[in-house]
Structure formats: structure tokens, C-alpha cells
Amino acid sequence: MAVQPAGILFRFMTIRPSILTGSASLLLAVSAFAQQQKSSAPRYVSPIAQKQPVNSPTPKAITPDAEVVEDMVVRVNDQIISRSDYERAQQQLEGEITQNRLSPEDADKRRKDLLRDLIDQQLLISKGKELGVNADAEVVRRLDEIRKQNHFDSMEALEKAAREQGVSFEDFKASIRNNIVTGEVVRNEVGRKLQMTHADELRYYNAHKNEFSQPEQIHLAEILIPTPGTPTDADIAAAQKKADDVAAQLAAGAKFEDLAKTVSGGPTAAQGGDLGMFKRGAGMLAQVLEDKTFPLKAGENTAPIRTRQGFVILKVTEHTAAGVPPLEQIEPQVQEAMYSEQMNPALRAYLTKLREDAYIDLRPGYADSGSSGRQTSFVFTAYTPPAPKKKVNKSRFDTAKTGRLAQAPKDGAQLASLPLDKNGKPKKIKREKVRYGQAPRTALPAAPEDQVANTGAQQEAAPGTAIAPVDSNPLSQANADAAAAAAAANVDPLAPKAQVADHKSRYSAKQKEFEQAKVDRKAAFAREKAAAMPDAPQEEEVQSRKVQSSALGLNGNNGKKKVKRKKGEEKKRIQQTVQAPSETQKEVNSQRNDDGTYKSPVPPGTGDTTNR
């Protein structure tokens, strides 16, 4: 697993991410891997680990005579960051700090956030796998761009050159792939949710005008008439004459770009002599050239100027004054600054959410500066056996002895003797079928002997008396006895006794009641239906209905059925039927002559009395 240097992850998190291609990216990787190859120490002995033992603790060996070659620093979901990956990232970070000359505060912050950046990258790579991001085609395209910019004929030549400089080509491709995947995830999951309007751009521009202030700068193009390294007077004169001819052509109206492509001997001839932007006082141009070019306006060019390379003619294509340019000119820079300002907190919030949803196991001794308080953490403890259950003596329901909770007899009373089996245990009483409303007969416990002796010749209690409630109120008991005595005095002992209704608890005993209820419901429904029916119509109403439903007879008697034509009888059609002429038609025919004219000037029956 290839690990990126610190800070390289966030280099691709903009709307217009600059692609890390070309010789710069190759040299960056080459320098990082070359530093590793120069170290003569084994892989597991890191110079940085020796300098900073607190950040990279050395784990204890499993056996006293063994040495740890590889160790896990942190586990992120199904991927791990090994100790060698962490040390490699530390070496690359130190190279960047030295190359960019960072301040001690910035360098300490980068070192502190190194492990956080590695964990963030693994989280984004895992999210890319989940979203199905495929970066194979983009990796091939970027490697091809690097090959073209370094002027290699084939990809094998690029791989060979990388190996000669001590760079692992597979790790380099993995680095590019990881950058593509992380950039795609950040762009889709975070970047597309950021919204900026023109009003926001104008507001940001007005609030940060000082940040967009720029010095005076010009955009130059050149036409170079070169001279040899050690020119003679003749060479100088010939070059000056050629430069004067070019200046005369420019004054006559020739295009500067065309002359640069055909006449210029400089390296920018193919691009029309374009040199790019130059700022005043930045040391990018010699003081002599600054004094001659900055006073010019856009579109003007200088006279031939003698330099060590020859005679050069410079043209100012753009001239930007010092100060804050208008928003229209620096709108891309404003958008980039606004995006960076909104992107950092949004990206950190998104990565925190990924941390809370992921499994991250950090080895003791390492610190993660981006950890969340709601992050899942696992606590490993030794196994503790569960506490033994306490034995509780439960009192059971003993129906064979008392029919209640088994308890010792009071006042030295002796329980009734029970029949025992051959083992000396009470015999089991056969379960009795108890009906609803009746008391058990055989399963009731036997009464104590003293109670049986006291009862003597008393009448045997009725079934169910033993479980009947006892009224403890003496007044109610006396009233009940008096009522029973009065009732017994008025009853005739010779009168026939009324039969007691059989109240059975079985469901089949209620079948007659159900059938009778069904008959009653049918009878009630018939009565309701009869009550809802209207009265029978009277004779006059019946005759009136017959008259109203009979045919009116306006077009013949339509009450009679049509006579059916007999088989073989000739068909009669309406066109063939001869109808008798009406009275009006007879009158009209009587007023006609034989030639069809009328005898009078007015046809009869027309109602017209005027002479025409």
C-alpha cells in the first residue's frame, strides 16, 4: 500500500485541481524514493524514528531474541497503515519542509497532522470503493502525459528511468491512483454541495481587496536575433542589420507573431515569442529591460536591444497597472479563494462523519489529531466469569397434604393420615373431573381427626360447603337464620316439589337456546319486512295503470302484433304500395288541364290570391 506525503491529499481538493503530472511530480517521487535508497539502515530502522521515538514507538518483540520488522500503526476498516508506510511519509514530509523552507510553526503542525492525513486518505479511498470510482483510465492518461513531457518514447522507457533513480514504479502508479480516487470523492461528495453566486463573489471581493492587490506587470513577447558565443565585429554587425530590418518590417505593419515564428532564433519562436507575465521589481527582468519595457503601452515594441545572446526586440502585449484589478479580470482567482475558504471546514466535517461511521483502531503511542469524540472505540478487557446464581428455597403448592401452601400445623394439631405407597410416599390422587359450579368430591383434603370427632352425628355437609365463603358478621348471620326458620314454618311438606332446572355447564346444553334465538330472529325479520311493505293498490288505481300503459294509437293500432308474411308470399314494399289520393290532391287534379297547366292562374290550395 503506497502512502502519500503529507499535504498531497489536499492538493487535489479544488474546483480546478491542478493535475500533478509532468517532470515536477516525477522528480518529487524520485527525490523521495532516492532519499530512502541512500539510507544504509534496514527498512525497519528509521532515522526519523531514532530522532523522534515518542511519535514512532518501537513495539516489544514477541520473543527475546527476535526483532520486529513490520508493525501496524493504525487499522482503517479493512486496510492498515504499517509502520514502514508511516516512516516513509515522515521522510517525504521532511523533504518537503526542507524544500519549501517552512517556518518552525508550520513544520510542527505538518508533523502533528501527518497521521491524520494518512487516515483521511484511507477513509476517502474506502469511500471511493464504496461509490465504485474507477481510476484506471485516468492513471494511464496521466502516465502518458508524464512520458510525453519527459520525452520518453514508450512507457517502458519511463519505468526504466524511474527504476534507475530508485523509484518504485508500482508505488508511483498507486500514488497517482489514490490521488485520483480521493479527488473524485471530494469533488462529488463535498465540492458539488458548495454554492456560490455572483453576489457572494462581489461581497468577498469587496471584503478582501487588499489580498488581490498586485504590482505593475506586463506580458512580453520577443524576437531574438542570436549571435555566436564569442561573436566578432562582423557577426555583431550582421545581427544588428538583421534586427534593424525586422524593426522596419514591424513599423511597416507586419505581425509580430508571424515574424517571431519565421525570424526569431529563441526557444519561444514556435509560440510566437510569448514570454509570459513579468512584475516590476521582482527581479524577473534585468533593470535595463525593465526601464525600456514598462513605459510602453500594450501593443508597442522596443527597438533592437543588445544582449549577451544577441539582439532582442520586445513587445508589450498586456500592461496591468499596480493596484487592485476589477472583479471581471480576477474572477477566477476570487472563485478559487472562496472555494478554498468554504472547502476546508466542509471537508473536515465530511471526514469527521466518515470517522464516526468507520472502524479505526489506533496503536497505543500514536496520536490522531483529527479524532472525533463520537468515534467508535473498542475496549478489550480480561474475561470475568459470571457470578453464580443464589439457590432460593421455593415453597411449592402441595395439594396432596393441605390443598394450600405447605406449612407446619399450628397448636400441635396433627394432619390427617394419608395412604402411602410401597416407597413410603403419599399415593397420588387420581385427578377428578370438576364441573363448573360444583365442588370437588374426592380430591379435597381430609379434615383433622379432632374436627371429625366434634361433628359427631351432624348431618354431612353438602358438596361445596367447604369452599363456601364464611360470613363473619353476626347480625347478617342471625337474620339469615330467622329467614330460614320462617320459610320452613310456611312450607307444606306434602306439596309436590318443583323440579329444578338442569343447569349444565357443557356447551351442547345451550344448543337449544341458540336454535330458539335463531327462530326468534327470523320471525322478527319477517315482521319488520311485512311492516315495511306498502298497502295493496285499490281497483281504481289498477284500472288507471292499465290505461296509462296502453298504446295511444297515433300511428295506427300499435297494440296489435304485425302479421307475419307466409312462406312463398310476394314481398310488398312501400314504394310499390298505391295510396289513395287525399282530398287536397283531388282538388288540385281537378283544376289541371290535359297538358298539365292549371285552369286558373292561381293553383288551388296555395293560399295566394294575387295575380301573377
Domain ranges for the chain, please list them. 9-206+334-362, 215-323
- Kindly report the backbone phi and psi dihedral angles of residue 317, in degrees, each rounded to the nearest multiple of 5, phi listed first: -85, -30
Strand partners, 218: 278, 319
What is the spatial distance between Cα 166 and Cα 289, in angstroms, rounded to a whole number?
43
In b/e form, how buried is each residue of 234-264, taking b as 16+ CB within 10 angstroms?
eeeeebbebbeebbeebeeeeebbebbbebb
What is the spatial distance between Cα 501 and Cα 281, in angstroms, rounded to a whole number?
127
Query: What is the number of other CB atoms lying within 10 angstroms of the CB of residue 424?
Result: 6
Which residue type is seen at 446?
A: A
Q: Is-contact 176 142, C-beta < 8 A? A: yes
What kind and span of H or E run contains 312?
Answer: strand 310-320
Domain at 215-323: CATH architecture: Roll (3.10)
What is the spatial distance between Cα 84 and Cα 107, in angstroms, rounded to a whole number?
21
Say whether 215-323 and 9-206+334-362 share the same fold. Answer: no
Q: Is-contact 44 69, C-beta < 8 A? A: yes
Chain centre to alpha carbon of residue 216:
51
Grid cell at residue 121: 486518505
Grid cell at residue 554: 297515433
Grid cell at residue 178: 489514490
Task: Please give the pLDDT value at position 38.
Answer: 40
Helices (H), 533-558: 539-549
Grid cell at residue 459: 348431618
What is the spatial distance between Cα 352 and Cα 370, in angstroms, rounded to a whole number?
8
Grid cell at residue 148: 510525453
Terminal Cα-to-Cα distance of the chain (whole angstroms): 122
Helices (H), 252-330: 256-263, 287-293
Query: What is the number of other CB atoms lying within 10 angstroms of the CB of residue 285?
Result: 20
What is the spatial distance between Cα 168 and Cα 84, in angstroms, rounded to a whole number?
15
Strands 360-362 and 79-82: unpaired
Task: Please give the pLDDT value at position 44.
Answer: 34
> Taken in order 502, 505, 508, 510, is the CA torsion positive or negative?
positive
Grid cell at residue 307: 544582449
Task: Please give the pLDDT value at position 369.
Answer: 87
- Kindly report the backbone phi and psi dihedral angles of residue 548, in degrees, each rounded to the nearest multiple of 5, phi listed first: -70, -30
Q: Is-contact 291 310, C-beta < 8 A? A: no
Tabulate helix, strand, coil % of the chain (nearest 5).
Answer: 45, 10, 50
Residue that is written with C-alpha cell 522596443 in the block: 302
Task: Please give the pLDDT value at position 417.
Answer: 62
Helix (H, G, I), strand (E, B) or coil at 314: strand
Chain centre to alpha carbon of residue 302:
64
* Per-10-residue mean pLDDT, the chain, length 612: 37 34 38 39 36 49 65 88 89 90 90 92 92 91 90 89 86 90 91 87 87 85 89 88 90 88 88 88 82 87 89 89 82 88 90 90 87 77 82 60 49 59 77 76 61 51 48 52 60 64 64 89 92 86 85 58 76 68 73 71 51 41
Helix (H, G, I), strand (E, B) or coil at 366: coil
What is the spatial distance between Cα 286 and Cα 298, in angstroms, rounded to a whole number?
20
Q: Give, in words, the CATH class of 9-206+334-362.
A: mainly alpha
Q: What CA–CA distances, in Å, run from 506 to 437, 515, 570?
A: 12, 16, 86
Contacts 24+ apart (CB under 8 A), 227-235: 227/309, 227/310, 227/311
Task: Please give the pLDDT value at position 284.
Answer: 81
Q: Where are the beta strands (DSSP E) in 385-468?
A: none
What kind and span of H or E run contains 532?
Answer: helix 511-532
* Digit-coded pLDDT (tens) for 105-147: 999 999 999 999 999 999 999 999 999 999 999 999 999 999 9
